[in-house]
Structure 1
Amino acid sequence: MYTDPLHGTDPAVTTTPQNITAQQREALDSALRVDQAGEVAANWIYKGQLFVLGRDKRAGPLIQEMWDQEKKHLLVMDKLQLQHRIRPTVLSEVAKVAGFGLGAVTALMGKEAAMACTEAVETVIGEHYDDQLKEMESLPHDHPSVPLLKDVVREFRDDELEHLDTAVENFSQRAPAHALLSSMVGVGCKIAIELCKRF
């Protein structure tokens, strides 16, 4: 719906619920602010990985394919942000720098470490999208944007979990100090989520 010009004037992609409580509006604002920031960071993680591993015949195309999906996610999140009049996080530039740094550093550690980074990030994001879907149950389903928003979050969650599977299939768990690396990246993602909710 968000990438098809034929639906450009559909109320589901152009309007936002008005009959929601202040608490529901705050939850919607927080969710979409975090999601948009997360997609910014994801794009820069893959950009950093591709900068290092782009010429690798196996890893390069895999990273590019995942990055292409993240570009679509960001395009849609930018449109959702405008539709629902959400203030973007003030940490967008930090997300870009941190994302690129994380992607490049883990790629410099090797293909397996790059995949371990993807595995850890997508594990947290998959769980985060699941939590959001539960929270969105409280939104009024009579507004056309709400079922569509839930469909988008569900689709993006499934894409992220597919990236997680791709990382595992490509030996993420063979990365040096896999458990420590995964734990550090996962904790970093959770902290970033909480910061973007507030700022």
Structure 2
Amino acid sequence: MRPILKKLPKPIFPSLCRTTPRAAYYTQPSAAYFDLNRQSELAVSTTPTGISKEQRESLHKALRVDQAGEIAANWIYKGQLVVLGNDPTVGPLIQEMWRQEQKHLMVMDRLQVQHRVRPTVLTEVAKVAGFGLGAVTALMGKEAAMACTEAVETVIGEHYDDQLKEFELLPSEHPSIPLLRDVVREFRDDELEHLDIAVENFSQRAPVHALLSAVVGAGCKVAIEMCKRI
């Protein structure tokens, strides 16, 4: 039985980071979730039924974490913008990265409904913690804000890489699985682009860069494990 999906809004195409041509956006895997002409396709409207309990649990844990991670990322950038939004150097960069994360979250919300995943109960915690992390590091300076982005995106890039390996074990017969792999691969590349942007904007010049990176990175890893289970 197909799940009942929420009514989808009109296609929304946020502005993109500098290395992604606008024309390419329309052919990216995630575009399937914004194209109203494709909403009846099995790949975007159904979840596989012929998988084992263990595979289903793995899929649900992955999407639960991804949704929570994108919520936190949105609030990190929101916190940074409150402090640095008017900065002529990093303000526009943070705004662009946030817009891309907004797109990520919209897709993850659709995937959560499509695959009938129970969201984490830590959603509000992710919002508060994300905003606090973004605002505090921004108050420490532009370099510290970029160091926060570098640390977060390093962990998320590695996390998406690990997920892609796990998803290779899922059967490809159902069209939602190949699409899911492609979407995760797309988002991984986006996050690694954010990492590059942070490094190019002097993240490694931040005071106590090594300590800040270690603390933020460790916090992200703990949050990932908690969201898998809760």
Smaller-chain TM-score bracket: over 0.9
Q: Can you list the C-alpha shifts for 1:87-122, whole angstroms capped at 9, x where unaligned?
A: 000000000000000000000000000000000000
Q: Does 1:6 align with 2:37?
A: yes
Which gives a bigger RCO, structure 1 or 2 (Cα 8 Å, sep 6+)?
1
- Aligned-partner Cα distance in 2 for 1:118–1:4: 30
Q: Does 1:150 align with 2:181?
A: yes
Match of 1:119 among 150, 161, 164: 150
Q: Does 1:91 align with 2:145?
A: no
- Aligned-partner Cα distance in 2 for 1:36–1:3: 17
1:98-117 superposed matches below 5 A: 98-117=129-148
Match of 1:137 among 168, 171, 175: 168
TM-score (norm: length of structure 2): 0.86
Deviation at 1:3, TM superposition (A): 1.3
Q: Can you list the C-alpha shifts for 1:36-91, whole angstroms capped at 9, x where unaligned?
A: 00000000000000000000011110000000000000000000000000000000
Q: Which has the higher helix share?
A: 1
Deviation at 1:5, TM superposition (A): 1.2
Deviation at 1:4, TM superposition (A): 1.3
Q: For structure 2, which runs of at least 5 residues remain unmatched after alignment?
A: 1-31
TM-score (norm: length of structure 1): 1.00
Q: For structure 1, which runs of at least 5 residues remain unmatched after alignment?
A: none
Partner of 1:173: 204
Q: Secondary structure at the match of 1:57?
A: coil
1:23-38 superposed matches below 5 A: 23-38=54-69
Aligned residues: 199
- Aligned-partner Cα distance in 2 for 1:114–1:190: 19
What is the aligned-residue identity percentage?
Answer: 77
Deviation at 1:177, TM superposition (A): 0.2
- Aligned-partner Cα distance in 2 for 1:42–1:2: 20
- Aligned-partner Cα distance in 2 for 1:4–1:187: 37
Deviation at 1:28, TM superposition (A): 0.2
Displaced runs of 4 or more, over 4 A:
none
